[in-house]
Chain A
Amino acid sequence: MINVLRSINYGLRRDVGVIVSLVMMFFMPYTIMLFMCAAEGMPLSECTPSYYFAAQNMAAVLAISYVGLTIISCKAMGGDSKDKTINYELLSGHNRLKIYAARSLAGIAWSVLPLMFISFLSVGVIALINGWGMETDPIDVIIRIALCVFPLIRICALNMMFTSVFNSAGKGIAMGFGMDLVISICTTISEEVFHKEIDYGFGFLNIIFLLTSQNSREVIIEGKPVNLFDTALTPEMYIKTIGFAVVFTVVYLLIGYVVFKKKDRD
């Protein structure tokens, strides 16, 4: 499996689509910060102290970086399907489970891990430039961003499942974006028609629930402005965030594997 992983890594390092996606993801936090400043019409130092950025804008950063995440994860799983070079992994005697596991691992490692690194780095960089701002517990912010790794892995697994089922990175990417659109529509219908909020399990809902501005507000405590998240990090949040992500990730990866295992590689 290690050999297959090394080979995939070698290919991804030379894939223009992957490099462009990573660069886009790297600059996304700063682009959003500048955009927010321009929208507010405020100087850079005032409009986005780091706490504000992390609490208010990180969900947008992750949601837009979803494009890059989808491209990279689908390319890791099925980038070698179009030219059939993936077949040479089987022809070399690697079994299907090891090939699938290596590709899943590469998909997560090349998309979720850089995105998490970029997210934390941007909070640090913006804190250095603009300061931390109002008194918000940095640990609380860091835990919330860190928790996002679980739904991101789930989303990544869903993309890879589509790629495996359709045996095509392109179709996987299209289905990933399509599914995101469907979830957005369903969420809106659920909230507007049935007045029922969905917070876990699908698309970016969990990440939005953990990080967005709807979920945090400014209050004055003992004369000091403090940023509070409406929902404290409760054990239920930990369990549901991690639990939903793990269950769905396993289900998605299993479906993808069953298709990969059963299908002839014609």
Chain B
Amino acid sequence: MSEKIVEVRNLTKQYGKQKALDDVTFSIKKGSIVGLIGPNGAGKTTIMKTLGGLVYPTSGEIEMYGATDEKGLNHARTRMSFMIEAPYEKEKMTARENLEKQRLQKGIPDKKRIDEVLKQVNLENTGKKIVKNFSLGMRQRLGLANALLAKPELLILDEPINGLDPEGIVEIRELFRRLNKEENITLVISSHILSELSLLCTDYVFINNGKIKGVFTEDELKAECSEYIQINTDNNEKASAILIDKIGIEKMDVTKESGIRIYEKLDEIRYISKTLYENGIIPVEIAKNEVSLEDYYMKMVSGV
């Protein structure tokens, strides 16, 4: 089992009467790529800010690299890099000047590191162009370059592919994969682009209204997003009873909105149809479907 490098336990953050985080508990394993998934205002950025020491929790505990006290957490943060809300950018400076300022702040002795990270994010040819004239994508890349500057063990990135063009998204995805596989960097990424996260992440944390809605590994989520048989009949209540009694179905959801969903005996669609018919139920719809990550996301965050 992989070593847990970050553990968040019962974390609550309250602004007045509003709970931005409500009893949040999850952990980050070394070498994983964790996707933090939730709609705007769900609490993703607040979690990241709390890990970064920008926001004090109202209650709960954070453990990072074995440390729980302020001094230890600050030391742990020297092994991590963040890009939260806005990427690091002084608008009137060039990319190189921005990184030089950060190099000094982080106490990195090697000046050549700036060239290395600029090359990694394809910003090596920006010359004297100041950041004010950068596109949104270029700014995101600069933020990533800054995050990579100190060779972190854990990267925490808030919406890192926001503003990137499709080509840029592919490049950055490959960069994340490379950093994870070759340099063994653990990543925590929040994003609204679920399809992107599903191509990258090994672990998922679903959050909404400050509450954790589910924590899954890649395999667990694949299982949850599996195929099912969708059935709608003239009498779903009676149909579901027949499915249980006559066919022995156990894994099944029945809702007014979606009808009946069966998650087992997926190859017996004909037999199911025939059994329902023989018992006086007329199937209006019976088909094999698949739960997409988007469907599952909607189900997790809004209960639909």
Asked if B78 contacts A84 (CB within 8 A), the reply is no
Which of A16, A85, A91 lies in contact with B82, CB distance below 8 A?
A: A91
* A90-B54 contact, Cβ under 8 Å, with A83-B89, A84-B86: yes
Tell me which residues from 229 to 266 in chain A have a Cβ below 8 Å from any Cβ of chain B: 264-266
Known A-B contacts A93-B74, A93-B77; A10 and B101 likewise in contact (beta carbons under 8 Å)? yes
Given contacts A14-B93, A264-B55, A265-B49, is CB(A93)–CB(B78) below 8 Å? Answer: yes
Q: Is the CB of A85 within 8 A of B52?
A: no
List A contacts of B70 (CB < 8 A): 95
Q: B interface, by DSSP: helix, strand, loop or mixed?
A: mixed
A31 an interface residue at 8 Å Cβ cutoff? no
CB < 8 Å neighbour of B90 from A85, A92, A264: A85
Residues of A contacting B104 in the complex (Cβ-Cβ under 8 angstroms): 3, 6-7, 10
A-side contacts of B119, CB under 8 Å: none
Q: How far is the CA of A61 from the CA of B8 in the complex (A)?
A: 56
B138 at the interface (CB under 8 A from A): no
CB distance from A257 to the nearest CB of B (A): 15
Chain A CB within 8 A of B53 CB? yes
B106 within 8 A of A: yes
A-B contact count (CB 8 A): 76
Tell me the B52-94 residues at the A interface (CB within 8 Å): 52-56, 70-71, 74-78, 80-82, 84-86, 88-93
Binary B-proximity of A63-103 (CB < 8 A = 1, otherwise 0): 00000000000000000100111011111111100000000
| A interface size (C-beta, 8 A) | 24
Is B100 an interface residue, CB under 8 A from the partner? yes
Q: Give chain A residues whose Cβ lies under 8 Å from the Cβ of B71.
A: 95
Task: Please give me the residue from chain A that is nearest to B94 by CB atom.
Answer: A14
Q: B53 near A91 (CB under 8 angstroms)?
A: yes
B146 within 8 A of A: yes
A91/B86 contact (C-beta < 8 A), A11-B101, A14-B93 known: no
Whether a CB of chain A sits under 8 angstroms from the CB of B25 is no
B106 in contact with A91 (CB, 8 Å): no
* Interchain CB contact under 8 A, B146 and A88: yes
Assess whether A105 is interfacial by the CB under 8 Å rule. Answer: no
Closest to A88 in B: B88
Report A-chain residues with C-beta under 8 Å of the C-beta of B27: none
B156, closest chain A residue (CB): A91
Task: Write out the residue numbers on chain B whose beta carbons fall within 8 Å of the beta carbon of A84.
Answer: 85-86
B105 touches A (CB below 8 Å)? yes
B binding-site residues for A, Cβ under 8 Å: 49, 52-56, 70-71, 74-78, 80-82, 84-86, 88-93, 97, 100-102, 104-107, 146, 150
Chain A to chain B contacts (Cβ below 8 Å), 30 pairs: A6-B104, A7-B102, A7-B104, A11-B90, A14-B93, A14-B97, A16-B92, A80-B90, A83-B86, A83-B90, A84-B85, A85-B90, A87-B84, A89-B105, A90-B52, A91-B53, A91-B81, A92-B77, A92-B78, A92-B105, A92-B106, A93-B77, A94-B74, A95-B71, A95-B74, A264-B49, A264-B55, A264-B56, A265-B55, A266-B49
